[in-house]
């Protein structure tokens, strides 16, 4: 018994003398909302990032496939096709691979987001209401969609690595939009999925990432595409 105890203590001693365990910290992006807007000529940044860590935008590991699920409850007729289109567009703009994991009835809420780095749940996207999702609670009635991401910074010694590990996208079930064209569910999905990838709002109203969807914009614009490339595969892999 004493020998066993001594062995345990010795083992503990060896572990304690090793390098410090990695320290992981969880962060949540602020809620974001997009609404339909009147034509604007606002100028400014063509793209921004949700957050920057050590001079680099936070982003997913673009070398690991991003899985996603779709909420069927409360869905808009024809909406799934537009979400699939938007995901293919975002995948192409970022060089990431997206894998569809099937349908769920769970509402997109903050509870879906990972709390530790041990899991990377699928991105959840779907229509819901303020009564069923904290993402839409307290938002103006004009809000079309809200996205929240969960990202982690892990420090090993003097090195800190960051990566997004989860996202939920809530589309407002009470709004009535066309499926495609300007200010449509397709453009709302593109806007929200760009947030999910790590983009913030553009100050320029020429971009789809402007917080007010602009008449005439039916797709990602030049600045949006530059921003998406900067959080994509061309920037290299991330090992969290
Ligand atoms: Zn937005």
pLDDT one-digit tens code per residue, 139-166: 998 999 999 999 999 999 999 999 999 9
pLDDT band at 19 (very low <50, low <70, confident <90, very high): low
Section 44-63 average pLDDT:
96
pTM: 0.91
Q: Are 47 and 207 in contact (CB under 8 A)?
A: yes
pLDDT band at 30 (very low <50, low <70, confident <90, very high): confident
Q: Are 185 and 173 in contact (CB under 8 A)?
A: no
State the first-to-last Cα distance of the chain, in angstroms, to the nearest integer: 40
Give the pLDDT confidence score for residue 4 in this predicted structure. Answer: 47
Question: What residues flank ion ligand 1 with Cβ within 5 A?
Answer: 32, 34
pLDDT at 223 over 90: yes
Rounded to whole angstroms, how far apart are CA atoms 220 and 182?
11
Q: How far is the CA of 76 from the centre of ligand 1 (A)?
A: 20
Give the pLDDT confidence score for residue 32 in this predicted structure. Answer: 78
pLDDT at 233 over 90: yes
Rounded to whole angstroms, how far apart are CA atoms 10 and 187?
60
pLDDT at 33 over 90: no
pLDDT at 191 over 60: yes
Q: Rounded to 5 degrees, what angle do the CA atoms 211, 217, 222 make? A: 85
Tokens of 208: 């789809």
H or E element that contains 153? strand 145-156
pLDDT at 2 over 50: no
pLDDT band at 7 (very low <50, low <70, confident <90, very high): very low
Give the pLDDT confidence score for residue 179 in this predicted structure. Answer: 98
**Spatial CB neighbours of 22, under 8 Å, sequence gap ≥ 6:** 154, 155, 156
pLDDT band at 18 (very low <50, low <70, confident <90, very high): low
Residue 215 neighbours by CB distance under 10 Å: 13
Q: How far is the CA of 136 from the centre of ligand 1 (A)?
A: 13
Give the pLDDT confidence score for residue 119 in this predicted structure. Answer: 86
Among the listed residues 205, 204, 167, the one whose alpha carbon sits nearest the alpha carbon of residue 189: 167
pLDDT more than 70, % of the chain? 92
pLDDT one-digit tens code per residue, 72-125: 999 999 999 999 999 999 999 999 999 999 999 999 999 999 999 988 999 999
Domains, the chain, ordered by start: 22-235 (3.40.390.10)
Rounded to whole angstroms, how far apart are CA atoms 41 and 185?
23
84-106 as b/e: b if 16+ CB within 10 A? ebbbebbbebbebebeeeeebeb
Q: How far is the CA of 201 from the centre of ligand 1 (A)?
A: 6
Kindly tell me the burial class for residue 42, based on how many C-beta atoms sit within 10 Å of its own C-beta (0-12, 13-18, 19 or more). Answer: middle
Q: How far is the CA of 229 from the centre of ligand 1 (A)?
A: 18
Rounded to whole angstroms, how far apart are CA atoms 227 and 136?
26
């Amino acid at each position: 018994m004493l020998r066993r105890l001594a062995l345990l203590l010795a083992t503990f001693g060896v572990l304690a003398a090793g390098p410090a365990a990695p320290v992981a910290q969880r962060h949540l992006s602020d809620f974001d909302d997009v609404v339909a807007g009147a034509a604007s000529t606002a100028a400014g940044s063509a793209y921004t990032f949700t957050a920057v860590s050590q001079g680099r935008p936070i982003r997913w590991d673009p070398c690991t496939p991003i899985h996603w699920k779709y909420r069927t409850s409360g869905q808009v007729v024809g909406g799934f096709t537009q979400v699939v289109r938007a995901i293919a567009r975002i995948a192409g703009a970022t060089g990431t691979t997206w894998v569809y994991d099937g349908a769920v009835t769970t509402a997109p809420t903050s509870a879906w987001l990972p709390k530790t780095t041990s899991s990377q749940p699928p991105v959840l996207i779907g229509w819901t209401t303020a009564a069923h999702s904290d993402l839409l609670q307290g938002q103006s009635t004009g809000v079309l969609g809200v996205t929240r991401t969960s990202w982690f910074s892990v420090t090993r010694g003097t090195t800190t690595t960051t990566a997004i590990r989860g996202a939920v996208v809530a589309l407002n079930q009470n709004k009535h939009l066309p499926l495609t064209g300007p200010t449509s569910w397709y453009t709302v999905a593109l806007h929200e999925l760009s947030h999910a990838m790590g983009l913030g709002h553009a100050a320029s109203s020429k971009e789809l990432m402007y917080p007010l969807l602009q008449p005439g914009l039916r797709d990602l614009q030049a600045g949006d595409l530059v921003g998406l490339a900067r959080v994509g595969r061309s920037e290299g892999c991330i090992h969290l």
